[in-house]
Amino acid sequence: MHIDLNCDCGESFGVWVMGDDAAVLPHVTSANVACGAHAGDPLVMRQTVRLCKRFGVAIGAHPGYPDREGFGRRVLPMSAEELEASLLVQIGALQAVARAEGVSLRHVKPHGALYNLAAQTPVVAETIARSVAAVDPTLILVGFAGSFLITAAQALGLPVAREAFLDRGYAADGTLLPRDQPGALITDPVANLAQALQIVQQGTVMAAHGLPIPIEADTLCFHGDTPGAADRAVYLREGLRAAGVHVCGL
> For the residues 40-55, what does the mean pLDDT come to?
97
pLDDT band for position 210 (cuts 50, 70, 90): confident
CA–CA distance, 131 with 98 (Å, rounded to integer): 18
Q: How far is CA 141 from the centre of its chain?
A: 10
* CATH architecture type of domain 2-247: Alpha-Beta Barrel (3.20)
> For the residues 39-53, what does the mean pLDDT come to?
97
> For the residues 93-107, what does the mean pLDDT come to?
98
* Tens digit of each residue's pLDDT (9 = 90 or more) over 61-78: 999 999 999 999 999 999
* Tens digit of each residue's pLDDT (9 = 90 or more) over 131-162: 999 999 999 999 999 999 999 999 999 999 99
Assess whether pLDDT exceeds 80 at residue 225: no
Taken as a whole, the chain contains a residue count of 250
Q: Considering the entire predicted model, what is its pTM?
A: 0.94
pLDDT band for position 191 (cuts 50, 70, 90): very high
Residues 6+ apart with CB under 8 A from 27: 5, 230, 233, 234, 236, 237
